[in-house]
Structure 1
């Protein structure tokens, strides 16, 4: 995203438009994307760089001695071999689909479910392994809910303004795909009708996105015996023992109400509906690996959701298929070539400095009691820092060996089985805290509450977030605020419930927790009902990210002020710049419904209003658009 002239006269009324307005007038969203600017621009740049590099490797202009990257290139060539994919048609998918078509009844499904799970099929009882929230050194078995077709439970409520239009797109997509796969027209429509019927039955007893945003409420441990009693149709113990090779003492149920009503779905009469639902989900899952027409058709619904005008071209789609399968291999290639140890050390030092500033602020906090303050400082002092890229490749990738005599899909299904088998074999082993949840070429960052670690992949560590060509104040308004944002997640309404070991454990005094919850409620109130062109903001849905934004910006501001030659104008302007984005209206509406992050315009404009330094820096007074009455300003960290 290139820098455009800033309209300084507008900064008092709308910081976001003052900084980004000139760019917004000319910015064009790529036809195959739903947004441009900020994070999206960096992702597009990396996409272009890596696609050019991989093309050179494909043509022999570059060579590699890395055996894992060599396997990636074999897979990349398979993904790009459109002639072979066209000639194979839907043939590579038949065995995968036949496993669903041949299911006889619920007993047969129960017997085959462990293998179906390991093979990557959708499940009516999604099982996963994650650190036990109350003992994060060990893995626990979690039972989640089956995925819905529409983005959220609220879309299934009567008279939802978008639901029927989206379902019609879904119907058209599946109908076209069934035709490509040479299903009988009438049989295909019957299959689709049954699948949609089953999907609608899944929604009533699931949580909506706002409820899921309070993710600690997903921790509902049941003894294995009690969990097994949820169903009289499926033998959960038999399924789990076959999947894990042993029986856990407990199962964490993310949404108990779903399981309390599960047997209402598992009737003999409903099996045909379930089977249709599973077959269509399976067909959609494999279509991107088949002909290019199948790939484009299978993306119609997701493009309707996001507002993308057209599908990616075949070469770009092949890049994403391959780089997603070998994500950590590609990430290390990118990081070692384009980031390097010097930048890694520099940013690591910046993170340490931000932690130091945060610690100072915690110690000076005027509403925490000494007992809670001490616990908070301990948690901060043990915070793990991952910058740039992991030190070594995970051993899983040594098992990804491409068979060039097989199709792209067959290789992908083999890799899925390898990865999921390794995943479920972790049960009973100590949690691996070194494994990164994002590859180095992803433009993002995260805090993991179970590990108490913050992670900054190499891709985000560039302008406008960070550059040696920017002033330190601009860098603090960019990557500094992002770093402190992730630190703040350790103390948001969810993260604050985990201790320094990553365990769900209340370390607050009763009075401090009550006051913190009042401040969180004030943050909810500040954002709730704010108008955007896509609709109103749900303050409760976005509260955790807003707390992290507020803490991050406030902490980064203090760090910037501690530098020689601090320029707070550049600090706030770069904060607004990193949120510069133009998105389709469809994407904005979708995110308002399901995303825990606030709209980018409000992230840029609202948090500065909470900081006194913003008012003195830009000489903002009552009557100006950026003015917020002091009594309405929220400061937590």
Structure 2
């Protein structure tokens, strides 16, 4: 790893490490960003497209039945001649179903099929772990999403909101015309959609409010839930998809259901029907002709500042791999990662857990009782590395119907959706599966699941600059070591700390320790809140959980690096800054500031090292340097 200018680090670590790269880095026209994470995504895309194109062309034969079904679907996605010839035809039966709706009784009758097909509805049901008893799957009822990415975009004075809605309206009017509506009909549908969307906005949470996981758990007795609507028989709808009689329904957005009748009622039925049509067309245009696919990206590209849509080849790749994600992930994991690397990284994770455990055991601000429970939670932490041991059985049911069998891209997607949702609802009341992966192995990311108390590291992130045998141990700890410890820290951030070793929402803290932790969390909020970035400001409350995890991750990884014979803290901090290199459009950065629970990449790179005393000695940071933070301002939690 190249040495960096120490004087430059004193002013800005991120710029000192990434400045030369930033001068020459170009954001591809079909991207909204480029950099560390995105470079890996692009490399994996190139590798897998090469492999799958060879299989689609018949020069390589897939080696398992599920991969064969995936390649059949990939061929359909790539066949734009056929997709263009089909035009909007595949979506017309779904649109006609909505068009023909006469009243709520009619909707009631069709509701089970629509729930299974995943068609737009003014609420949705799903199944996930019961947050108070995570051994069992419970029923959840969800509010619909809004057109704009966060409810704050609807606030008076938010200048982005009206501009984005105008782009959305123009796009949807054109898309609806391509499905056969006259221009005035299309405009009426869009006007009604915007009106119905506004009815939802007051009763849903902002991104900041949603960032508090504990507020998701709002159990309601089933009998009370079914009385939510005066116009739909929610009990009959539930019984049509659930085999049994739930005691409770969990409502992450309780206010929406408290005001359900104000939104979903006969006076608004026409608005709701048109909203359903617009949502349907927006959701599924990407599976139709190339013209509709490209047009349907207009709004999302305006949101992110992406100049051009993906080309046909890439769009087909992402459409197909998104549908068969775990099949593709297993292929990638076995071919490009393998069992040896899986075992090696698993050992590295265990090593980081051991470091974390030692740090907990000597922690000075936790009482003995809370500390013992924290260690118990750490001992029970599940580890998933690389790729799953087996494919979920639902993927064995995915059989692609070719055009000769009457199939097209959309009909297959709807069929797969139905199978997946039937499978999900069949799990209600049954034991949760703690081995299930929620990311595919080809995903450049990692996660901690608070309901399962597991950390997951897909194969795709386990490569340079995060991890490589070519890098020093310190560089690896500054990359993948900090990522691993970051995910461990999520078990003890302001959200994870609310869940016990089994993933249950259960307070295991003494009152004094909880109060002290909340004060430390406030310090982290203050450290980031209001920082200027991309013409806007960071929301410290929205990003606090990730910032706590970054702080714990970097501190723990540094301790591990110092335990190695070849310790080089300059390489450690340099690689930490390098993995966060990112060049992005202003629109994308501002979007992330509004909705992302992570702080901007540059601030993640720069702010967290300031909390570590060794950063100052490593680079001789002095009080008059820009990177200096007074000792009493340094936030130390884990």
Which TM-score tier does this pair reach, normalised by the shorter chain? over 0.9
- The RMSD of aligned alpha carbons is 1.0
CA contact (8 A) 2:92 2:179 kept: no
Q: CA deviation at 1:5?
A: 6.9
> For 1:324, which of 316, 319, 322 is the aligned residue?
322
Distance 2:175 2:310 in 1: 18
Q: Which residue of 1 aligns with 2:191?
A: 193
Residue deviations 1:101-141, cap 9 Å, x none? 11111222222222111101122122111100000010111
2:631 is matched with: 630
**Where does residue 99 of structure 1 map in the other structure?**
97
2 CA distance for matches of 1:560 and 1:6?
A: 19
d(CA) in 1 for partners of 2:548, 2:196: 38
Deviations 1:255-279 (A, max 9, x none): 2111111101122221000000000
TM-score normalized by the length of structure 1: 0.99
CA distance in 1, matches of 2:302, 2:608: 32
Distance in structure 2 (CA, Å) of the matches to 1:302 and 1:602? 25
1:432: Cα distance to partner?
1.2
Alignment partners' CA distance in 2, 1:562 and 1:62: 47
SS in 2 for 1:251: strand
Matched, 1:521 2:519: no
Structure 1 residue aligned with 2:81: 83
Structure-2 residue corresponding to 1:487: 488
Cα separation, 2, equivalents of 1:482 and 1:471: 16
Q: Could you tell me how far 1:60 is from its partner in structure 2?
A: 2.5
SS of the residue 1:317 aligns to: helix
Structure 1 counterpart of 2:559: 558
Q: Distance in 1 between matches of 2:64 and 2:518?
A: 51
Provide the rounded CA distance (Å) in 1 between the counterparts of 2:262 and 2:109: 20
SS state of the match for residue 204, structure 1?
Answer: helix
Partner of 1:297: 295
Deviation at 1:438, TM superposition (A): 0.3
Deviation of the 1:4 alpha carbon? 7.3
CA displacement at 1:565 relative to structure 2: 1.6
Partner of 2:270: 272
Give the aligned partner of residue 541 of structure 1: 542
Structure-2 separation of matches of 1:134 and 1:493: 17
Match of 2:54 in 1: 56
Deviates more, 1:209-218 or 1:481-490: 209-218
Alignment-derived partner of residue 260 in structure 2: 262
Within the alignment, does 1:436 sit opposite 2:437 as a pair? yes
1:585: which partner in 2? 586
Q: In structure 1, how many angstroms separate the alpha carbons of the residues matched to 2:2 and 2:201?
A: 46
For the pair 1:576 / 2:582, whether they are aligned, the reply is no
Counterpart-to-counterpart distance in 1, 2:358 and 2:424: 40
Question: 1:349 aligns to what?
Answer: 347
Rounded Cα–Cα distance in structure 2 between residues aligned with 1:377 and 1:330: 36
TM-score for both structures, normalised by structure 2: 0.98
CA contact (8 A) 1:166 1:304 kept: yes
How do 1:39-50 residues align onto structure 2 when only pairs under 5 Å count?
A: 39-50=37-48
- Give the 3-state SS of the residue equivalent to 2:385 in structure 1: strand
User: Shift of residue 242 of structure 1?
Assistant: 1.0
Matched position secondary structure for 1:438: coil
The residue that corresponds to 2:460 in the other structure is 459
* Correspondence for 2:510: 509
Higher mean C-alpha displacement, 216-225 vs 106-115: 106-115
**Which ranges of 4 or more aligned residues in structure 1 deviate by more than 6 Å?**
none
Task: Compute the displacement of 1:41 (Å).
Answer: 0.8
Counterpart contact for 1:16–1:601, Cα < 8 Å: yes
The structural deviation recorded for 1:428 is 2.0
Post-superposition offset of 1:157: 1.2
Q: Which moved more, 1:235-244 or 1:550-559?
A: 235-244
* CA distance in structure 1 between the aligned counterparts of 2:239 and 2:180, rounded to whole angstroms: 38
Query: Could you report, residue by residue, the CA deviation over 1:470-518 in whole angstroms, capped at 9, with x for unpaired residues?
Result: 0000000000000000000000000001000110110000000000000
Does the aligned pair in 1 maintain the 2:445–2:460 contact within 8 Å? Answer: yes
Aligned pairs for 1:14-25 within 5 A: 14-25=12-23
1:453-478 per-position Cα deviation (integer Å, ceiling 9, x unaligned): 00000000000000000000000000
Count of equivalent residues: 635
Query: Cα offset for 1:8?
Result: 3.4
Distance 1:278 1:559 in 2: 53
Q: 8, 11, 27: which is aligned to 1:10?
A: 8
Give me the whole-angstrom Cα distance separating, in 1, the residues matched to 2:112 and 2:506. Answer: 33
Quick one: which of 184, 205, 218 aligns to 2:203? 205
The CA distance in 1 between the partners of 2:4 and 2:223, in whole Å, is 64
Tell me the SS of whatever aligns to 2:11. coil
Q: What is aligned with 1:603?
A: 604
SS in 2 for 1:138: strand
> 1:52-81 deviations in whole A, cap 9, x for unaligned?
111111222222221110111000000001
Give the distance between the partners of 1:161 and 1:4, measured in 2 at CA. Answer: 44
2: CA distance between counterparts of 1:609 and 1:5?
20
Per-residue deviation at 1:433? 1.2
Checking the alignment, whether the CA contact within 8 Å between 1:7 and 1:18 is kept in structure 2 is yes
- CA distance in 2 between partners of 1:195 and 1:554 (Å): 49
Output the CA distance in 1 between the equivalents of 2:522 and 2:589: 24
- 8 Å CA contact 2:139–2:249 kept in 1: the answer is yes
Report SS of the residue matched to 2:545: helix
Aligned twin of 1:163: 161
Structure 2 residues without counterparts, runs of 5 or longer:
none
Which position in structure 1 is the counterpart of 2:389? 391
Deviates more, 1:108-117 or 1:248-257: 108-117
Offset at 1:158?
1.1
Structure 1 residue 225, shift from structure 2 partner:
1.0
* Corresponding residue for residue 307 of structure 1: 305
**d(CA) in 1 for partners of 2:590, 2:136:** 39
CA contact (8 A) 1:219 1:254 kept: yes
CA-CA distance at 1:159 after TM superposition: 2.0
- Structure 2 distance, partners of 1:176, 1:186, is 11
**Equivalent position of 1:617 in the other structure:** 618
Contact 2:473 2:561 in 1 (8 A): yes
Counterpart in 2 of 1:123? 121
How far did residue 143 of structure 1 move? Answer: 1.3
CA shift, 1:229, in A, is 2.3
* 2:240 aligns with one of 239, 242, 255: 242
